[in-house]
Chain A
Amino acid sequence: MREECTDEELMLAYGRGDAHAFEALYTRHRGTLYRFLLRHCRERASADELFQETWSRVIVARERYRPEAKFTTWLLQIAHNLAIDLLRRHRPHAGAEETELVFRQLDAPEAERPDRVLSEFEQRRRLQLALEDLPDEQRTAFVLRMENGLGLEEIAEVTGAGQETVKSRLRYAFAKIRARFAE
């Protein structure tokens, strides 16, 4: 029953006090949101903080939600704004080496550790380093496109930029990543 409802219906139900609707909605987007934040801020603690803060903003704004806005876009927009604020507070960012260490220790399963599968690890390591080297706007646009499957319009809506700007950011991000793999 809950699985057949759209994100907007679940959010409206939760706005009326249905906690179970929120549980269904949380289950759908917990992973993608968390990874978006983790890609964005590059450390798990900040990702956890932003993750919890993002859902808190959703909970507080439950009664003001209107179905005209797509829930995924609204959710990522909140997360993006929080991530931007966090990045502004924590500059300079962590270095590439630190980021690589985090990925290596926390995210990779034991069977897929780079030392176990060198070629696969090398490829993901290069991708990870390429993402880290991207500017924040290009990385965000790229993650929203790859992680969350958003189109140009939705990325523009989440990030508050124009579609052509988003497309340009994506183009630059895509080119840098391809260049890293070509090395």
Chain B
Amino acid sequence: MTQRNHHEREFEAFLAGEESELARLYRRLPQAEPDAKLDAAVLNLARTAVEPQRVNALRHANQRHRRPWWLVGLSSAAGLVLAAGIAWQMQGMQQGPAEALRAPASTAQAERDVIPITAITTPEPLPAVALPPAEAAVASANLAASPPATPPPAASMPAPPPPSPPAAAARSRASTAPLRRSVEVVKADELSKGETAEFEAAAAVTAAKPMPVDQALDARLLEAQAQSADKRELAKAKDAASPQQPEPFADREVRDYNSVERKAALASGSRRDEYGLNAGDDGKVQPAAAKPAARAPRPAAESAAAGAGSMNRSAALQRNAKLAPADWVIAIRSLLRDNQREEALENLDLFKRKHPQFALPQDLRDLR
């Protein structure tokens, strides 16, 4: 029993790993180990087994870092688009500064090319010339004949020129198209602006240099006659075209027409001749008296046949007034022969005022 208990204790010590005689004797048994060849075979087998795995791992690692082909292509395309966009933007930005740099140069070039023009101030109306009482009465009577609603053209706007051919054509159409006529009148006004400015400059010079009393009288007289003749023609056209047209519109038409006609007449050379002014080739304004050859008399019949316009009539009247009394009488008779009785009467009236001492033939004295 004691020996059995002793063996049981030794077995428990054996199971517990306690040091015992049997354990010491077992450790003294030969400690066999695999030889080097076996070690090499096992280790080589282990390395060989994991080599593909290592290669695959490296390949996977490389593939993980390698970008997909489509990503590379997409990146390249995006880069190209970005580069193109930047280039386009840069081109636009370069054109902007280039234009900005060219702009001052072109502006400077333009400044060198353009002749500086100073604004021309509106010239003062022609100075009132002191008229003799008789002449003033005639002028005031002619002015009073105009509609009261129509302001004095010389006071409100530049002097109206004589009717130019376009203006005359517009006037001929006035009876059928008042609105169109207004438009054409505006166009004629715009066309004659340049000439009007030239005339206004000449008028300014004239205002600075007083005309002789005789020439001033003639100018005033002719202007008044032209106005009265124009207004009469306008009244006729208006009555023939639209008798039912409201009066204010007709007045406006007449006013516009007068102003345009006067502008055109003044801008033309003939009316400048009437005012005793003319522009030389050098641009300087010269008195008409300085060039008598330019105002050589023309036959009255030729003048009467030139046209029925008041400008021509006024010009003809002006020319006839320069004639000798005997020649003027002949011209009046020619007008009568040509059935231009109205013009003949105008010439006769002016003749009587200019040459009151001249003994007219009986037929002309009786002419009314």
Q: A52-B41, A149-B17 are in contact. Are A62 and B33 (CB under 8 A)?
A: no
Cβ–Cβ contact A170 & B53, under 8 A: no
* A164 contacts partner chain B, Cβ-Cβ < 8 Å: no
CB distance from B319 to the nearest CB of A (A): 126
Q: For the complex, give the distance between the alpha carbons of A123 and B17 in Å.
A: 21
Interface residues of A in 105-130 (CB under 8 A from B): 106-109, 112, 120, 123-124, 127-128
Size category of the B interface is 20 to 34
A-B CB pair tally, cutoff 8 Å: 109
CB distance from B292 to the nearest CB of A (A): 127
Stretch at the interface among A14-22, A68-76, A84-92, A93-101: A14-22
- Residues from chain B with a CB closer than 8 A to the CB of A109 are 30
Cβ–Cβ contact B32 & A62, under 8 A: no
* B39 contacts partner chain A, Cβ-Cβ < 8 Å: yes
CB distance from A51 to the nearest CB of B (A): 6
Cβ–Cβ contact A18 & B50, under 8 A: yes
Q: Most B CB atoms within 10 A — which of A19, A47, A103, A127?
A: A19
- Residues from chain B with a CB closer than 8 A to the CB of A127 are 22, 25-26, 29
Closest residue on chain B to residue A152 by CB atoms: B15
Q: For the complex, give the distance between the alpha carbons of A52 and B54 in Å.
A: 23
Q: A123-B25, A170-B14 are in contact. Are A55 and B45 (CB under 8 A)?
A: yes
- Residues from chain B with a CB closer than 8 A to the CB of A19 are 46-47, 50, 54
Interface residues of B in 286-341 (CB under 8 A from A): none
Cβ–Cβ contact A38 & B32, under 8 A: yes
Cβ–Cβ contact B49 & A62, under 8 A: yes
Closest residue on chain B to residue A125 by CB atoms: B29
Closest residue on chain B to residue A30 by CB atoms: B34
Contact with A along B33-69 (1 / 0, CB 8 A): 1110011011101110110011001000000000000
Q: A26-B43, A52-B42 are in contact. Are A108 and B49 (CB under 8 A)?
A: no
* B11 contacts partner chain A, Cβ-Cβ < 8 Å: yes
Q: For the complex, give the distance between the alpha carbons of A174 and B30 in Å.
A: 20
Q: For the complex, give the distance between the alpha carbons of A16 and B60 in Å.
A: 13
Cβ–Cβ contact B31 & A55, under 8 A: no
- Residues from chain A with a CB closer than 8 A to the CB of B252 are none
Cβ–Cβ contact B45 & A59, under 8 A: yes
* A65 contacts partner chain B, Cβ-Cβ < 8 Å: no
* A178 contacts partner chain B, Cβ-Cβ < 8 Å: yes
Q: A14-B50, A62-B49, A170-B14 are in contact. Are A55 and B42 (CB under 8 A)?
A: yes
* B141 contacts partner chain A, Cβ-Cβ < 8 Å: no
Interface residues of A in 129-183 (CB under 8 A from B): 145-147, 149, 151-152, 167, 170-171, 174-175, 177-178, 181
Closest residue on chain A to residue B50 by CB atoms: A17
CB distance from A76 to the nearest CB of B (A): 16
State the B residues within 8 Å of A (CB). Answer: 7, 10-11, 14-15, 17, 22-23, 25-26, 28-35, 38-39, 41-43, 45-47, 49-50, 53-54, 57
Q: Which 4 A-B pairs have CB atoms at the shortest separation, nearest pair first?
A: A107-B30, A17-B53, A22-B46, A55-B42
